[in-house]
């Protein structure tokens, strides 16, 4: 979808489904274009309601959802244009009449427009006849003398349901008027709105109401202001009459209120009741911004009978509040205001009960990257803002960096870890009709656990009560309708409904030293790897009932490390991993139903050549070796070929396609610890593979046998989540349990083993954001990560008072110990516990900046924390804080905390705007001044060394290669020399470069230095307050102005840039610059940006060849009704030319979100259906891959190879960075 949604409502049968109010400001969506065309896909069934969105580009969008042939839910849409030249910000006000016959939109100023809508019956007929869906019959615009403050439709009397009543509150010259338009359904709107109505003047106490709530009785409405609530009646008979009443809001505010003034009533909803009930009664839920809820019962006479305090919804509430129908009561849903929302149940004669939480957006004003130090990075500068080209050489085995942002406010404020992947909800499995048994394999034995249907009763069965072997470790088990087969290290157990058998491996092999080390079961076949004094032997059995018969035996050289059964070339196949003298091998034996071999045994040896040939990109750390195989899973079995997924001890996972003539491999690196693969897809389902190692849990999906080599196209991290436990468990084993526990649509039920715990989880099928919240009990404003302290450092404001906190990023626990440094009677330094360190804790103090300072002097290094902000309107504060880790013991065992205290401070004569540091001093901008301060060794105080006067304050500063980059609020980017001499004075900094265009700078980041015509140039990305991002060149020559290279226009302004190695582990080891991607630093980190709306963005610098190809694809996609259905017509039906243009500069921006849709739908072939476009496509792609580390496509008229390569390019650029 293109433009932003300004407002939403619904249209439908009100007697069957009561209208639902929804959130006014919906999700931001890319692009703004005007269209007069409609794209629709009308299914056979038509819904009872439509959702109507007013878009900022002047379009009305009518939406409904239907279930497609594959069972997935899809949106169906139709569009209708609004006269945008008459409305500024159309949809700022939006309302629909109770009969769903008329829709009215108003802008923020003095115009509104009314649409007459088709009835739902006529829309159903249009659908049935296959006609174009036309929801709008006619429309009429009307101007008003004043600002439209509120607009609502009132309910007609029951005896005259064709009566339409439109109410407006119009403000002019500090006076509010209540204006009314009345008509009958079907009347000509031109005559209805022919003239402007005068209306009734409102008393001062009702002049600017917060809410206007139409009532179903007496043509009346409720008017809610900051201080008074009243019922307004008699509006159709003459002058309106106001009847004030009291709400049950005795609590001045709840604990969820974040502010100093009285909380306001913000939203309302009408619960579903029988239609006859509303003829003489009305009932409403009225919600306050701090979560307080009132229930109002209103009768035709005398009016408001009951105003009952229902309690708190335990969240803040804006306009996203509604009541939904349930058979046993009402269900209340609050979206939350900048915080998670709440789902509550209200049953008759019972208290409000919270039953769930729903995610919601939250503004993010700061971001921090938490990284794991390695031996290569411990001695390097930890502040990448000061050294943006820092060479932090990555180990292939390091854990990905983690992204933390500040989010929420008040009691629900949190530091949030941003994660993206598949969520596994612990404990949220469906109820069962009866209990089940779970077989566990323990290190030295097995166990059978009985779970009751409600999971309340968990009983371990005794060995003598079950027909299974519980004294040995279980190696494989299979449960079918016919039999249960268990293989342990000592026995083969077969249990049917009528009999059971237990065979000892010593008895079978005739060797008292024989032990089963690995086993595999498929259908009625059992394969064993048996070890004895003579070595390893593979034996294959077939079951007939409870009877066993031997089908084949194979001698094995070396050690067997894993085993699997499958099919290959039409026969039964035994796949085994072996290790002999450091040689890792996958061996294959095939046999027919009689046990005779079908093809000769053969093997694949895993060496460095096999690994490098199987990877899309070579590891950044050079050649690697493959260690022993850990697990084998058949993925795809055909008549001529079989594909396997193979895990290894070195952390690699191979996808291997085998056929009689040979094999091909594809691999991913999941880390340094062993990778185990587990099948979690059922019979007939697409292949799903779960990968476990010590640190990561991932799922491989979207298997493609058409690719060369065959591979899983999608890999996603899996995050087990438990709202009661913030610590993410380390998963050792996974099993599907769909036969025992019913599965909800779109989910899988899994049993996971985490140490000594069994976790029953509900696994989502689609990747999504999986944020992890660390509550801080206030509004977090700043955050950074200290690798020395292994802690998140954040500034939290509670009731206007700031405090400094240290948090454990793993557990979320508070580590803070604020102290005051004093001296005892002997003059020795001591620390006294306090609530706030010096200079913090004063109401009204506002912290603007939080950074770390790695100070060096006299061969020694100190690491401090720098805090700066505003104390008063005319006074700023710079505070240097020392922090040290402490170890101590509690009743639960050893623990840790961080002791911190104020070390240095400096008061300045204006509020501080920004702060940064280098190894010798600290830069502070207050007012229009930049001061460079250093510690005076003599008195241990900060002294002024250099200064500079700006034209506008510095929103952000950073030191880059010994120069100070300053992003100013009104004069763009400036580059200062603070080390050299100035002709203006000894203590003056020198201006080297500036931007000739005055941009509103917000933040900046150095993204690379490059040689251009034998001159060193660097690029800085600057974000502004108008949603723009600008790429600015600076050269090694002084006094040259900055040059604009590219621009991008986003949906929200980037508040903070950062960089980090946040990609999943399989991408970290191999993602290197290629396909025209320019690395932003020598260690190839990714550039991220956080916006105030909470969105995280990824930025990549492109060479010209990459930009030409990607922008060409984007231009064609923007003209496609499939990719951009709501914006394409204005592009596709003009003088459309998809050729990329260098000017204006914003066309140098490639929108990755549009390219993602192209990749998801595999639509390149369709986009290039025009031969001229296909020809240019080949030219751009050929130029891109020239001089790459891969062969270019063969030059021919066959585009298949070009499309394969193009999809690889898109996959490379769109690979997830979280």
Distance CA 372, CA 402 (A): 9
CA distance 1071 to 1167: 28
pLDDT of res. 477: 94
540 has a pLDDT exceeding 70: yes
- CA atoms within a 13 Å half-sphere pointing along the CA-CB vector of 671: 19
The arithmetic mean of pLDDT across residues 1144-1152, rounded, is 91
Q: Which of 1001, 933, 957, 950 is nearest to 848 (CA)?
A: 957
Residue 384 has pLDDT above 50, yes or no: no
pLDDT at 1038 over 80: no
pLDDT digits (tens, 9 = 90+) for 875-893: 999 999 999 999 988 888 8
Say if residues 98 and 282 touch (Cβ distance below 8 Å).
no
| pLDDT per position as a tens digit, 298-342 | 987 767 877 888 889 989 999 899 999 888 889 999 988 888 889
Three-class DSSP category at 206: helix
pLDDT score at 83:
74
DSSP letters along 787-806, please?
TTTTEEEEEEEETTEEEEEE
What percentage of the chain carries pLDDT values higher than 90?
50
Summarize the confidence of residues 131-148 as an average pLDDT: 89
Contact assessment for residue 1023 and residue 1004, using Cβ atoms and an 8 Å cutoff: yes
Beta-strand relationship, 1101-1102 and 1077-1078 = antiparallel
409-450 per-position pLDDT tens digit: 888 899 999 999 999 999 876 666 678 888 999 989 999 999
Q: Cα–Cα distance between 155 and 623 in angstroms, integer?
A: 75
Q: Tell me which range, 35-39, 77-81, 608-612, 1180-1184, is most confidently predicted by mean pLDDT.
A: 1180-1184
Cβ neighbors of 792 (< 8 A, separation 6 or more) are: 368, 370, 404, 415, 774, 783, 784, 785, 786, 806, 807, 808, 809
Banded model confidence at residue 386, pLDDT cuts 50, 70, 90: very low
First to last CA, the chain: 24
Q: Tell me the pLDDT band of 1093, cut-offs 50, 70 and 90.
A: confident
Q: Which H or E run contains 689?
A: strand 689-692
pLDDT mean over 708-722: 91
Instruction: Say how far apart CA 1146 and CA 1049 lie, in whole Å.
Output: 7
Q: Please provide residue 219's backbone torsions phi and psi, each rounded to the nearest 5 degrees.
A: 50, 30
Assign 963 a pLDDT band (cuts: 50, 70, 90). very high
Confidence band, pLDDT 50/70/90 cuts, at residue 27: very low
Residue ranges of the domains in the chain? Answer: 246-361, 1103-1214
Predicted local confidence at residue 15, as pLDDT: 44
- State the average pLDDT over residues 730-752: 85
pLDDT at 259: 78
- Of 305-319, 329-343, 455-469, 1184-1198, least confident by mean pLDDT is 1184-1198
Q: How confident is the model at residue 1143 (pLDDT cuts 50, 70, 90)?
A: confident
pLDDT for 813 equals 93
Q: Indicate the pairing of strand 1101-1102 with strand 1086-1091.
A: unpaired
User: 59: Cβ–Cβ under 8 A, 6 or more apart, which residues?
Assistant: 3, 34, 35, 79, 80, 81, 82, 1126
Q: What is the average pLDDT across 246-265?
A: 82
Q: Which residue has the higher pLDDT, 46 or 949?
A: 949
Average pLDDT in the chain: 85
Residue-wise pLDDT tens digits, 500-522: 899 999 998 888 899 999 999 99
Burial status of residue 835 (CB atoms within 10 A of its CB: 0-12, 13-18, 19 or more):
exposed
Task: Give per-residue pLDDT as tens, 65-119.
Answer: 887 776 777 888 888 888 766 666 777 899 999 999 999 999 878 889 999 999 9
Phi and psi of 441, rounded to 5°? Answer: -100, 115
Asked whether 741 and 432 are in contact (CB, 8 A), the reply is yes
Chain centroid to CA 806: how far?
Answer: 25
Residue 119 DSSP label:
P
Q: What is the pLDDT of residue 1012?
A: 57
Name residues whose C-beta falls within 8 Å of residue 754's C-beta, 6 or more positions apart in sequence: 720, 729, 730, 731, 732
- DSSP string over 577-641: EEEETTEEEEEEEEE-TTS--SS--EEEEE-HHHHHHHSSS--TT-------EEEEEEEEE-SSE
Residue with tokens 């043509």: 219
Does position 790 have pLDDT exceeding 60, yes or no?
yes
Structure tokens, 794 = 């954040």
Q: How confident is the model at residue 23 (pLDDT cuts 50, 70, 90)?
A: very low
Within 13 A of 1099's CA, how many CA atoms are on the CB side?
A: 31
pLDDT confidence of residue 26? 38
Beta strand pairing call for 420-426 and 711-721: parallel
Amino acid 2: pLDDT: 40
Angle, helices 1171-1185/1104-1118, rounded to nearest 10 degrees: 150
């Amino acid at each position: 979808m293109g433009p932003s949604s300004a407002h939403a409502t619904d249209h439908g049968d009100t007697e069957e489904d009561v209208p639902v109010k929804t959130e006014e400001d919906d999700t931001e969506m890319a692009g703004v274009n005007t269209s007069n065309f409609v794209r629709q896909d009308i299914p056979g069934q038509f819904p009872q309601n439509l959702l109507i969105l007013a878009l900022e580009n002047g379009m009305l969008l009518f939406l409904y959802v239907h279930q497609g042939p594959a069972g997935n839910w899809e949106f169906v849409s139709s569009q209708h244009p609004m006269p945008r030249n008459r409305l500024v910000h159309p949809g700022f006000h939006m309302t629909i009449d109770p009969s769903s016959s008329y829709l009215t939109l108003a802008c923020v100023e003095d115009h509104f427009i009314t649409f007459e809508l088709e009835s739902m019956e006529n829309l159903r007929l249009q659908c049935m006849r296959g006609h174009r869906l036309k929801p709008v019959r006619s429309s009429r615009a009307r101007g008003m003398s004043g600002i439209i403050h509120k607009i609502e439709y009132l309910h007609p009397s029951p005896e005259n349901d064709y009566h339409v009543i439109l109410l407006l509150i119009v403000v002019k010259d500090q006076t509010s008027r209540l204006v009314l338009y009345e008509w009958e359904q079907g009347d000509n709107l031109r005559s209805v709105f022919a003239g402007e109505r005068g209306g009734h003047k409102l008393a001062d106490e009702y002049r600017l109401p917060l809410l206007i709530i139409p009532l179903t009785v007496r043509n009346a409405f409720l008017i809610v202001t900051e201080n008074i609530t009243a019922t307004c009646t008699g509006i159709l008979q003459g002058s309106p009459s106001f009847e004030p009443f009291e709400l049950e809001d005795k609590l001045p505010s709840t604990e969820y209120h974040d502010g100093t003034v009285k909380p306001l009533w913000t939203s309302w909803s009408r619960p579903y009741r029988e239609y006859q009930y509303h003829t003489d009664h009305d009932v409403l839920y009225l919600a306050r911004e701090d979560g307080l809820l009132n229930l109002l019962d209103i009768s035709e006479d005398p009016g408001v009978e009951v105003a009952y305090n229902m309690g708190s919804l335990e969240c803040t509430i804006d306009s996203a509040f509604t009541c939904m129908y349930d058979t046993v009561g009402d269900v209340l849903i609050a979206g939350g205001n900048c915080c998670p929302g709440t789902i509550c149940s209200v049953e008759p004669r019972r208290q409000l009960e919270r039953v769930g939480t729903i995610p919601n957006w939250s503004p993010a004003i700061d971001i921090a990257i938490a990284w794991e130090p390695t031996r290569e990075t411990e001695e390097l500068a930890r502040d990448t803002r000061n050294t943006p080209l820092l060479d932090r050489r990555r180990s292939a085995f390091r854990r990905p960096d983690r992204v933390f942002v500040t989010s929420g406010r008040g009691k629900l404020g949190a530091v949030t870890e941003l994660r993206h992947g598949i969520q596994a909800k612990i404990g949220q499995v469906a109820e069962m009709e009866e209990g089940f048994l779970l077989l566990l394999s323990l290190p030295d034995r097995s166990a059978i656990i009985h779970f009751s249907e409600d999971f309340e009763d968990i009983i371990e069965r005794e060995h003598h009560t079950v027909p299974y072997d519980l004294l040995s470790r279980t190696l494989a088990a299979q449960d079918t309708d016919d039999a249960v087969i268990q293989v342990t290290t000592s026995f083969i157990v077969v249990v049917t409904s009528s009999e059971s058998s237990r065979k000892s491996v010593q008895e079978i092999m005739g060797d008292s030293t024989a032990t089963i080390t690995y086993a595999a079961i498929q259908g009625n076949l059992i394969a064993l790897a048996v070890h004895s004094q003579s070595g390893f032997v593979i034996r294959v059995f077939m079951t007939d009932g409870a009877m066993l018969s031997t089908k084949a035996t194979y001698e094995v050289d070396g050690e067997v490390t894993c085993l699997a059964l499958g099919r290959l070339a039409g026969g039964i196949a035994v796949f085994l991993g072996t290790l002999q003298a450091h040689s890792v091998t996958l061996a294959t034996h095939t046999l027919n139903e009689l046990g005779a071999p079908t093809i000769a045994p053969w093997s694949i040896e895993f060496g460095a050549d096999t690994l490098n040939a199987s990877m899309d990109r070579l590891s950044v750390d050079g050649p690697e070796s493959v260690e022993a195989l850990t697990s084998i899973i058949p993925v795809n079995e055909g008549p001529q070929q079989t594909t396997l997924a193979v895990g290894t001890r070195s952390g690699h996972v191979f996808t291997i396609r085998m056929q009689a003539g040979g094999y091909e491999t594809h691999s991913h690196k999941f880390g340094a610890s062993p990778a185990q693969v587990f099948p979690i897809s059922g019979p007939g389902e697409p292949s799903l593979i779960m990968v476990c190692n010590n640190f990561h849990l991932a799922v491989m999906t979207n298997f493609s046998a058409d690719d060369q080599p065959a591979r899983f196209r999608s890999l996603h991290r899996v995050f087990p989540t438990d709202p009661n436990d913030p610590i993410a468990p380390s998963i050792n084993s996974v099993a599907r349990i769909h036969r025992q526990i019913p599965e909800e649509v779109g989910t899988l039920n899994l049993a996971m083993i985490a140490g000594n715990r069994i976790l029953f989880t509900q696994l989502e099928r689609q990747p999504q954001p999986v944020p992890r919240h660390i509550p801080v009990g206030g509004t977090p404003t700043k955050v950074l990560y200290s690798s020395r302290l292994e802690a998140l450092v954040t500034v939290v404001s509670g009731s206007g008072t700031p405090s400094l906190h240290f948090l454990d990023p793993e557990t979320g626990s508070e580590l803070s110990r604020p102290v005051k440094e004093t001296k005892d009677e002997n003059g020795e330094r001591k620390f006294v516990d306090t609530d706030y360190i010096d200079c913090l804790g004063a109401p009204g103090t506002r912290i603007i900046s939080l950074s770390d300072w790695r100070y060096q002097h006299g061969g020694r290094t100190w690491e401090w924390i720098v805090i700066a902000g505003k104390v008063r309107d005319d006074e700023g504060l710079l505070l240097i804080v020392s922090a040290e880790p402490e170890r101590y013991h509690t009743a639960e065992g050893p623990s840790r905390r961080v002791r911190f205290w104020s070390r240095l401070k400096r008061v300045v004569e204006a509020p501080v705007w920004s702060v940064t540091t280098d190894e010798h001093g600290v830069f502070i901008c207050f007012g229009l001044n930049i001061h460079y301060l250093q510690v005076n060794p003599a008195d241990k105080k900060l002294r002024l060394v250099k200064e500079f006067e700006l034209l506008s304050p510095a929103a952000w500063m950073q030191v880059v290669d010994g120069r100070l980059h300053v992003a100013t609020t009104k004069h763009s980017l400036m580059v200062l020399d603070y080390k050299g001499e100035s002709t203006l004075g000894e203590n003056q900094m020198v201006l080297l470069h500036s931007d000739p265009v005055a941009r509103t700078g917000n933040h900046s980041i150095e993204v690379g230095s490059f040689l251009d015509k034998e001159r060193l140039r660097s690029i800085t990305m600057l974000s502004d307050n108008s949603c723009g991002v600008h790429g600015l060149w600076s050269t090694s020559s002084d006094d040259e102005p900055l040059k604009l290279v590219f621009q991008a226009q986003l949906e929200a302004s980037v508040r903070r840039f950062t960089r980090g190695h946040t990609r999943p582990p399989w991408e970290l080891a191999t993602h290197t610059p290629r396909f025209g991607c320019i690395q932003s630093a020598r260690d190839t980190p990714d550039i991220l940006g956080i916006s105030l709306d909470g969105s995280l963005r990824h930025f990549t610098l492109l060479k010209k060849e990459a930009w030409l190809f990607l922008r060409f694809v984007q231009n064609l996609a923007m003209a496609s009704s499939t990719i951009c259905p709501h914006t394409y017509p204005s592009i596709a039906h003009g003088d459309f030319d998809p050729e990329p243009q260098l000017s204006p500069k914003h066309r140098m921006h490639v929108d990755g979100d549009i390219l993602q849709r192209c990749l998801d739908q595999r639509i390149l072939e369709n986009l290039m259906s025009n031969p001229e476009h296909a020809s240019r496509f080949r030219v751009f792609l050929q130029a891109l891959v020239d001089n790459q580390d891969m062969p270019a496509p063969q030059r021919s008229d066959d585009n298949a190879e070009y499309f394969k390569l193009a999809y690889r390019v898109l996959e490379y650029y769109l690979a997830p960075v979280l």
